[in-house]
Amino acid sequence: MSQLERDLRYLGVLDKAVQIAEELGPQAAVRYVRSSYRLLSKVYHPDLHQTNRRAAEEGQRRLNAVKERLDQTSDEELARFLGGQARPATGHPRVLVVEDEDGLRENLADLLSLEGYHVRTAPNGVEGLRLHLAFRPELVITDVVMPIMDGVEMVRQLRRRDPQLKALFISGFFGTRSIRDELMDEIRRFGYPMLSKPFRPSQLFELVRQALVL
C-alpha cells in the first residue's frame, strides 16, 4: 500500500473519492479530497476537547502530517492516482479517440461504444494529453495530422507518462513528409498498428483488438 493510499484511508475519504472519480472524473475527486482536511481539522481541534485534549492533539498532529504530504502532492498526481483506482461501470476497456474532424470523431465514438468500449474523445493532441490524465484509457486512437499538436507528438508525450502506452494511428493526408517519416519511425520502433482512411468498421474493430493485446 502506498503512502498516498494510507493517507487517504486515514482521512476516511478513499472509497468516496474513488466513487466520485468514477462518476464525475478525477478532478472532482481531487476537490473532494482537498476539502476533507478542513472538516477534520475542526473535529480534532484541541480547544474543543478539554477533557480529551491529549487525544485531540495527537489526532491534530497526525492530520497535520497527512496535510503536509498531500500539500506536496500535485493535483495531477492525485488525479492520476484516483483515476487509476476508478473503473467504469461497464467493465469494458477504456478507449480515447483523438481526432480533429468532428464527424469522424463522433462516428468512431459511436462505433466503439456499440462494441461495448468505454469511449472519450478529444479534438486535438493537447486536449488528448489532458483527457488521458483523467480518463486513463487502455488504448489511444489518434489521427496523425491535427492542429495545435499532431498525433505523433501527442503519443510521444504520453509514452513519457506511460511507457507501456497502447496506441493506434489513423492516417490520411500526411501534410508534410517529415510527419510521415516520424509516423513510420514510431510504427517501426513501437509496433503501433495503423489504420488508413477510408476504412471499414470491421477493419477498425480488428485493429483495436490487435492493439489492446500488444
CATH number assigned to the domain comprising residue 164: 3.40.50.2300
For residue 51, the Cα-to-chain-centroid distance in whole angstroms is 47
Please write the tens of the pLDDT for every residue from 78-137. 888 887 776 554 457 899 999 999 999 999 999 998 888 889 999 999 999 988 987 889
Judge if 151 and 198 occupy the same domain: yes
Would you call the peptide bond into 198 cis, given omega within 30 degrees of 0 as the criterion?
yes
Cell of 24: 464525475
pLDDT in the model for residue 86: 62
pLDDT in the model for residue 87: 56
Q: What average pLDDT does this structure show over 59-63?
A: 77
Judge if 205 and 101 occupy the same domain: yes
Q: What average pLDDT does this structure show over 26-39?
A: 80
Judge if 54 and 151 occupy the same domain: no
Judge if 59 and 102 occupy the same domain: no
pLDDT in the model for residue 121: 93
Share of the chain above pLDDT 70, in %: 86
Domain count, the chain: 2
Which of 29, 51, 85 is at the close of a domain?
Answer: 85
**Residue span of the structural domain in which 58 resides:** 3-85
HSE, CB side, 13 Å, CA atoms: give it for residue 89: 6
* Residue whose cell numbers read 478529444: 122
- The more confident residue out of 58 and 120 is 120
The pTM of this model reads: 0.57
Distance CA 203, CA 201 (A): 5
pLDDT in the model for residue 129: 92
- Residue 169: CB atoms within 10 A of its CB come to 22
Judge if 113 and 204 occupy the same domain: yes
Distance CA 46, CA 69 (A): 22
Please write the tens of the pLDDT for every residue from 171-185. 876 555 667 788 888
Would you say residue 213 has pLDDT above 90? no
pLDDT in the model for residue 143: 93
Would you say residue 202 has pLDDT above 80? yes
